[in-house]
Chains A and B, each alone.
Chain A
Amino acid sequence: AQKVTQAQTEISVVEKEDVTLDCVYETRDTTYYLFWYKQPPSGELVFLIRRNSFDEQNEISGRYSWNFQKSTSSFNFTITASQVVDSAVYFCALRESYKYIFGTGTRLKVLA
């Protein structure tokens, strides 16, 4: 069965520290898509990145970077030099056909 595991329930860091959020997935599909979303206190899920199973290149966008490793079925997310505005719940998701399977999320608290 398709499954996404985010083992870290909550992480607290001090501003300017780097932090990595882990995501492990299970799928039988050979073609699949993975996503990261951010959910601030307002509740809206904000799209951060999409990765398809054929592209294992790591990606960097400003302070954000993603490490996709098919060999370990992981798609980890790193925030460099964290800021208070990064405080939110972060969800990893796997697309199964048209619907998303979400992990349980990691709550990130960045302390000033």
Chain B
Amino acid sequence: GAGVSQSPRYKVAKRGQDVALRCDPISGHVSLFWYQQALGQGPEFLTYFQNEAQLDKSGLPSDRFFAERPEGSVSTLKIQRTQQEDSAVYLCASSPAGLGTGDSRPQHFGDGTRLSIL
């Protein structure tokens, strides 16, 4: 499809396990974002990539969270030693332009991965 694709749609893991969440952005989109959405809350920024460069990871809650986008397209968000407070929906978004272009076109979001930690 032409939209942002995320997999898996749902993930259940036991506390302490590692998980990996995948995001396929819209083809050609330079910018890629990860957000975390807790139940009943709005999405909160985690990290930002421009092509393969991770320009901002200020929203990652701890060093257990790691994101990569090695070839400037697909991105993976990895959470190590998961804890119950990591349970949330993880949303990926992409947009056509990068920083400094003045382009204000909106971010396009995927359906998210709903992560449940038991």
> A residues bordering B, Cβ < 8 Å?
4, 33, 35, 37, 42-47, 50, 52, 91, 93, 95, 97-105
Contacts and interface: CB of A to CB of B under 8 A. Distances in A.
Nearest to B112: A43
Given A91-B42, A104-B42, A35 B106 contact: yes
Interface range for B: 20 to 34
A95 B104 contact: yes
A45 B45 contact: no
Contacts, number: 57
Contact of B43 (A33, A42, A95, A100): A100
A100 to B, nearest CB: 7
B42 A44 contact: no
Chain A CB within 10 A, most for which of B40, B91, B107, B112: B107
Interface string B18-44: 000000000000010101000011111
Contacts of A98: 31, 33, 48, 56, 99
Contacts of B56: 98-99
Q: Secondary structure at chain A's binding surface: helix, strand, loop or mixed?
A: strand
Contact of B109 (A44, A52, A99): A44
Contacts of B114: 43
A106 B112 CA distance: 19
Contacts of A93: 42
Nearest to B99: A98
Most buried by B among A37, A47, A100: A100
Nearest to B110: A44
